[in-house]
């Protein structure tokens, strides 16, 4: 391994890009630290999983690169003298001294890192003044309070057993459906009251599908995911909101950070709409 690493360090690629390769782990540590601080300061903001954060950052990076590329061409072609002025600043030929340029560079770096950590998280939803809004606001409070629930054993634990008991299935059963039923029952909202996830995809309750669209989605609506390997719906949870880039923020039980259908916790994560089979509504307007 030592010889392999030494050989890699002697390659032309490493010699050319060694600064970028060294700074990558440093950036990851800084990004993780900022994200942790944000989670402490704002505990109910959406704690997206790593894949979702990377997906969001990739989207924004692509967007920024596209805008900057177009702007660069427009700037250089339409205003050559001004472009030359900015170019001289970048290459250190401006009237600003080296110390000032360094401070500006560090400040811009800090802003970009903070912005990256913020956009990789979601903000909190806000209730609206319409019929059913009171229940949805109270449901949001309940959902936030459940984000610390973890299994104690395989599909077991104090809260997990409580969910499964509420729908009268054996302890140790999969509990994503039980979780949804328990929370809806808490507010006396009629629902399938089942641990069987396909129960939540009944056409009479469905208000939205990816192919056909449908009604405007509201916090507390229930999403389902279809698994080809099972040839049926295999996971269910709550829709929270749609973020500014069109991704769905959802929360489910028996899941994990990446949004698996057999995880060990209640978790909130981000998902592309095309991955959703259907969304049903039980909190009536």
Task: Output the domain CATH number for residue 242.
Answer: 3.90.1720.10
pLDDT of res. 129: 47
Radius of gyration of the chain (CA): 24
Closest CA to 143 of 249, 229, 258: 249
What does 77-145 look like in DSSP terms, one character per residue? HH-HHHHHHHHHHHTT-SSS-HHHHHHHHHHHHHHHHHHHHHHTSB------SSTTHHHHHHHHHHHHH
pLDDT at res. 186: 94
In a domain, 124, yes or no: no
Only one residue has tokens 């499964």, namely 164
> 255 in a domain, yes or no?
yes
Is 285 among the domain residues?
no
Residues with Cβ within 8 Å of 69's Cβ and at least 6 positions away in sequence, in order, are none
Residue 208: predicted pLDDT: 97
- The residue from 119, 149, 171 where one domain ends is 119
Do 41 and 110 lie in a common domain?
Answer: yes
pLDDT of residue 126: 46
pTM, 2 dp? 0.61
Cβ atoms 46, 121 nearer than 8 A: yes
| Residue 7 shares a structural domain with residue 73 | yes
Do 181 and 228 share a domain, yes or no?
A: yes
| Beta-ladder partners of 236 | 224
Rounded Cα distance, 175 and 194, in Å: 9
Whole domain around residue 233: which residue ranges?
Answer: 133-280
Burial of 73 (0-12, 13-18, 19+ CB in 10 A): exposed
Q: Is residue 102 included in any domain, yes or no?
A: yes
Residue 126 lies in a domain: no
Which residues of the chain are modeled with pLDDT < 50?
123-129
Looking at 87, 119, 151, the residue that finishes a domain is: 119
Six-digit token string for 142: 């309940």
Q: Are 207 and 221 in contact (CB under 8 A)?
A: yes
Q: What is the pLDDT of residue 6?
A: 75
225 and 114, same domain (yes or no): no
Q: For residue 167, what pLDDT is reported?
A: 96
Same domain, 211 and 261: yes
Does 228 share its domain with 163?
yes
pLDDT at 51: 62
**CA-to-CA distance for 207 and 280, rounded, in angstroms?**
5
How many domains are contained in the chain?
2
């Amino acid at each position: 391994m030592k010889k392999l690493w030494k050989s890699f360090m002697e390659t032309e690629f490493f010699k050319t890009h060694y600064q970028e390769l060294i700074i990558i782990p440093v950036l990851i540590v800084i990004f993780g630290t900022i994200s942790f601080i944000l989670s402490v300061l704002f505990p109910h903001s959406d704690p997206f999983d790593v894949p979702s954060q990377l997906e969001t950052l990739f989207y924004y990076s692509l967007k920024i690169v596209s805008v900057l590329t177009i702007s660069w061409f427009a700037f250089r072609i339409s205003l050559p003298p001004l472009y030359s002025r900015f170019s001289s600043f970048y290459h250190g030929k401006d009237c600003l001294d080296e110390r000032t340029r360094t401070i500006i560079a560090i400040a811009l770096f800090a802003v970009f890192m903070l912005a990256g950590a913020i956009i990789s998280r979601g903000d909190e939803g806000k209730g609206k003044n319409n019929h059913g809004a009171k229940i949805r606001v109270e449901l949001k409070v309940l959902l936030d309070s459940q984000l610390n629930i973890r299994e104690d054993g395989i599909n077991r634990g104090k809260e997990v057993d409580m969910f499964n008991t509420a729908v009268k299935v054996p302890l140790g059963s999969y509990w994503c459906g039980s979780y949804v039923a328990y929370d809806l029952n808490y507010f006396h909202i009629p629902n399938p009251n089942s641990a069987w996830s396909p129960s939540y995809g009944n056409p009479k309750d469905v208000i939205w599908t990816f192919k056909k669209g449908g009604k405007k989605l509201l916090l507390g609506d229930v999403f389902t995911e279809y698994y080809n390997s099972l040839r049926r719906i295999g996971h269910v949870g709550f829709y929270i909101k749609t973020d500014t880039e069109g991704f769905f923020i959802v929360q489910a039980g028996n899941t994990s950070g990446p949004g698996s259908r057999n995880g060990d916790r209640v978790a909130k994560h981000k998902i592309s709409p095309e991955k959703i089979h259907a969304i049903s509504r039980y909190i009536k307007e």
